[in-house]
Amino acid sequence: MASEYKLLLEGAQQLVLICSKGEHYLLQAAMPNLAVLANASVVIGKDGYIKAVGHADSIRRQFSEASFEKIIDCSGKCILPGLVDAHTHPVWAGDRVNEFAMKLAGATYMDIHQAGGGIHFTVEHTQKTSEEELFGGFKHRLLRMLRAGTTLVECKSGYGLNLDTEIKMLRVIERAKQELDIGISSTYCGAHSVPKGKNATEATDDIVNNHLPKLKELDLNGEIHVDNIDVFCEKGVFDLSSNKRILQAGKDIGLQINFHGDELHPMKSAELGAELGAQAISHLEEVSDEGITAMASAKCAAVLLPTTAYILRLKQPQARKMLKEGVIVALGSDFNPNAYCCSMPMVMHLACVNMKMSMKEALAAATINAAYALGRSHTHGSIENGKQGDFIILNSSRWEHLIYQFGGHQELIEYVVVKGKVI
């Protein structure tokens, strides 16, 4: 007889229950919502969604007649929500390991960029690489992320810059959505850099007049669906007025605004994002006090990227001030050839040590709040009835080991589950 339910996770020593109580994000003041249940179980239905969460005894009584495709004995282990990575650039070709040596010798990110390296180097290689080959590299990276506990990840284009290569990247992302288990939120980032031979105004015109209408057409044909629009709002890249034009045009075709801002220079990106109704802004090392206030009242999430601040030795984003002011703080790995880290446990560790977040805050930022930044917190980011059955199961009796241990999480993360399927 076919079983009625897909999976039973039974009797975990600790189950980290992030309860969003309908708000779909957590602030520091709401931290009691991050409760830990002892001796707890979860039932996941055939559709991959959570049907019941609670004390092991009561779940056993409630489901005594039920049949399950699979049961995992979680005694002595911890169950947490699958991690959400709110910012990555994972589709590319070409190796930039030499730039790491340049940075160690004192070159800044912009020194390398202006000398034709950095994004330009990756664009040149990505333009020349076939869709098949790009997919191969991308798939390998996504599988690494999954093994590190990420079950939903934001993936950007942005190493194409010309229309054909941007579309090629977005096709690669679309294929991964169909073929792989990991959840993906895709982002068009054609304004990642000003392409060679154009100035910022010409590039902006091209994006608004050619790229975005093409994306709309591909969406209507059912070929490619993009969720978010991104720009690199930075001195010497795209200024505030270009940003405004591109982001507004993206919003007009139904994309969520989610962009790079206030990273290397104060640009008033946060103020612009709040004005345009952005869902999220990333980086924010140089955000102004007014920008923080504006983001808090606009419920615009701050996606903080501890790997980038660490590798580029930038000033740390002011996570404590943002939390105090009521900003929804999320985390991302910023996985890209500059910040080569696809491990959210490592990102949470850095957020705690370098940005002074607590472990609970870091976990909320890498789950429910990251899901909020992607507009997915109604289905992802916490263990609640009706949400997607995405989990990590730790071979440890205390959940904090996920953040406390620094690297080498393969042994600690015993299972990764996406939509009730054990990966």
B/e letters for 149-182, b = 16+ CB within 10 Å, e = fewer, are bbbbbbbbbbbbbbeebbbbbbbbbbbbeeebeb
**Count of residues for the chain?**
423
Interaction with ligand NIG in 219-248: which residues (CB under 6 A)? Answer: 232
Pick 94 or 326: Cβ nearer ligand NIG: 94
CB of 350 to ligand NIG, least distance (A): 14
Total interface residues for ligand NIG by CB under 6 A? 13
> 165 is in the binding site of which of ligand NIG, Fe ion, none (Cβ under 5 to 8 A by kind)?
none
**Residue in the shown chain whose Cβ atom is closest to ligand NIG:** 338
Contact 364, 29 (CB under 8 A): no
- C-alpha to C-alpha distance for 348 and 361, rounded to whole angstroms: 9
Q: Beta strand pairing status for 78-81 and 83-85?
A: unpaired
Element containing residue 150 per DSSP (H, E)? strand 150-156
| Least distance from Fe ion to the Cβ atom of residue 232, Å | 8
44 and 4 in contact (C-beta within 8 Å)? no
By CB under 6 A, residue 122 contacts ligand NIG = yes
Interaction with Fe ion in 302-361: which residues (CB under 5 A)?
334
- Cβ within 8 Å of residue 199, ≥6 positions away: none
As measured in angstroms, the least distance from the Cβ of 167 to Fe ion is 20
* CB distance 274 to 294 below 8 Å: yes
Residues forming a β-bridge with 186: 155
Stretch that binds ligand NIG, among 144-152, 331-339, 351-359, 405-413 (CB under 6 A): 331-339
Give the Cα separation of 380 and 287 in Å (integer).
28
Would you call 79 helix, strand, or coil by DSSP? strand
| Near ligand NIG by CB under 6 A: residue from 6, 260, 349, 360 | 260
Shortest reach from residue 210's CB to ligand NIG, in Å: 22
CB-nearer residue toward ligand NIG: 307 or 396 = 307
Site string for ligand NIG, 57-96 (x = CB under 6 A): --------------------------------x-------
**Would you give the distance in Å from CA 343 to the centre of its chain?**
11
Indicate the DSSP class of residue 263.
S
Site for ligand NIG contains 334 (CB under 6 A): yes
Question: Minimum distance from CB of 356 to ligand NIG (Å)?
Answer: 22
Which of Fe ion, ligand NIG, none does residue 119 bind to, with CB < 5 to 8 Å depending on kind? ligand NIG
Binding residues (CB under 5 A) for Fe ion: these are: 334
Binding residues (CB under 6 A) for ligand NIG: these are: 89, 118-119, 122, 232, 260, 263, 308, 334, 336-339
